[in-house]
Amino acid sequence: MPRRFCYIAIPMTDRERYRPIDLDEAGAASAREATRRRLAGGFLVGEQRIDPPCILAPMEGITDRGFRNLIRSLGGCGLTVTEFVSSEAMTRNVRRAWEMAELDPEEHPVSIQIYGRDPQRMADAARFCEELGADIVDINLGCPSKAVTSGCSGSALMREPELASAIFDAVEAAVRLPFTVKMRMGWDHASLNAPEIARRAQDAGARMVTVHGRTRMQMYKGEADWAFIRSVVEALEIPVVVNGDILTVDDAYRALERSGARAVMVGRGVMRNPWILRQIADDLGGRPQTQPTLAMRRAVLGQLFAQRSQGIEREHVVLGRVKKVVTYFTKGLPHGANLRRSLHRSQSLPELFEQVGDYFEFLSARGLEAVFDEAHDEGESASNWS
């Protein structure tokens, strides 16, 4: 069948010129504009407005106070969420748990995520979150790690709907601030019960549900099923957030359109590109997307290095943290694979920082100050940085 074309007007200085547009392209543009209109103004979680509808996902060992503040400073972040905090550890006054729940006085709106399987301890932990100044408390039913699920918490609770309901009820009764829930599609593909668990959460008083488009057994393998999340959207009256595999602005639109969700939650995509929430928010607002230069990326990577190092005296621990950051951050950067190989062989912080400095000088000398996705890791030649 021959392709169909229409003509649209494009304003150009003192006259209008016309160009043919493929109807597939026109349809995509129309869908994107419909998504912008649907999400305009954000949404409410209780009385807390989330605008723009772009949320920083909780990530273990990553989303501490320093990292959250850095991402918020770049713009476009409507809500930050702490890394998950054990209700058991919090209620037993374990110092590390309280450190993980620390909030900045200027960090609002912010949610503290808690996990556990004892309804009373979850309720007590939620009260502590309220006292710490959180705007929202989030209940973790999504973490797939063996360390969490072996204790029958996190996504393991997807297999115990009655216990999950008891936790929802206990938290709702314990605090005045709104509670939300983050979950997976189910434990495995034989038990895709996210719509049921989400309804239970809503019936107990939850004000928002986030769904990662994988099962627990998938961990992070395969692709996130954004279309499945529409079944959760259709089962609820409260806002639903789509999560999983959102690495670009185009991914965000596809996830929103396929799921019908009210917002996106981005985790690993932020590690690769700290500006992604800003770029999504820019596009949703009809503004040109922020395009960070190489100098901006170098400055942010330096800030990430500094905040990863705070409060730690043992150099090998800092090295491990910094290497973890670099692994994500340099995906897609010109010759990033070579940098990662060199850094992972680094034995000291001075050596690592020197290599990073040499790398950025190499890119600058070759006129690559303003590129990111134009040059990739694949197919690097022997003349590349090393």
Catalytic entry in 54, 77, 143, 152? 143
Average pLDDT over residues 314-343: 79
Judged by DSSP in three states, 157 sits in helix
Asked whether the predicted pLDDT for residue 75 surpasses 60, the reply is: yes
Is 334 or 194 the better-scoring residue by pLDDT? 194
Q: How confident is the model at residue 217 (pLDDT cuts 50, 70, 90)?
A: very high
Q: Is the CB of residue 84 less than 8 Å from the CB of residue 113? A: yes
The runs of H, that is alpha helices, within 60-182 are 65-73, 87-91, 95-100, 119-131, 146-149, 161-174
Q: Is there a catalytic annotation at residue 6?
A: no
Q: Taking the CB of residue 151, how many other CB atoms lie within 10 A of it?
A: 14
Asked whether the predicted pLDDT for residue 120 surpasses 80, the reply is: yes
pLDDT of residue 26: 64
User: What is the per-residue pLDDT across 21-41, written as a single tens digit (0 to 9) for each?
Assistant: 444 666 778 889 999 999 999
Compute the mean pLDDT over every residue in the chain, rounded to the nearest whole number.
86
Cis before 350? omega within 30 = no
Separation of alpha carbons 304 and 82, rounded Å: 17
Asked whether the predicted pLDDT for residue 63 surpasses 60, the reply is: yes
pLDDT of residue 297: 86
Is 27 or 1 the better-scoring residue by pLDDT? 27
Q: How confident is the model at residue 237 (pLDDT cuts 50, 70, 90)?
A: very high
pLDDT of residue 12: 37
Q: Which residues contact 341 (CB under 8 A, 6 or more apart)?
A: 386
Pick the range with the lowest mean pLDDT from 88-97, 133-142, 145-154, 347-356: 145-154
Average pLDDT over residues 329-355: 82
Pick the range with the lowest mean pLDDT from 224-228, 243-247, 360-364: 360-364
Asked whether the predicted pLDDT for residue 204 surpasses 50, the reply is: yes
Q: How confident is the model at residue 302 (pLDDT cuts 50, 70, 90)?
A: confident
Is 23 or 258 the better-scoring residue by pLDDT? 258
pLDDT of residue 377: 39
Asked whether the predicted pLDDT for residue 257 surpasses 60, the reply is: yes
Separation of alpha carbons 125 and 82, rounded Å: 14
List the one residue out of 71, 76, 75 whose CA is nearest residue 104.
Answer: 71
Phi and psi at residue 269, to the nearest 5°: -60, -30
CA dihedral 311, 315, 317, 320 (to 10 degrees): 120
pLDDT of residue 74: 96
User: What is the per-residue pLDDT across 259-301, written as a single tens digit (0 to 9) for each?
Assistant: 999 999 999 999 889 999 999 999 999 999 999 888 888 888 8
pLDDT of residue 382: 32
Q: What pTM was estimated for this model as a whole?
A: 0.86
Judged by DSSP in three states, 348 sits in coil
Query: What element of type H or E holds 115?
Result: strand 110-115
Phi and psi at residue 170, to the nearest 5°: -65, -40
Strand 240-243 vs strand 263-266: parallel, antiparallel, or unpaired? parallel
Q: Is the CB of residue 309 less than 8 Å from the CB of residue 321? A: yes
Can you tell me which residue has the tokens 């996106």? 264
Judged by DSSP in three states, 202 sits in helix
Average pLDDT over residues 100-115: 95
265: left (phi over 0), alpha (psi -120 to 50) or beta: beta
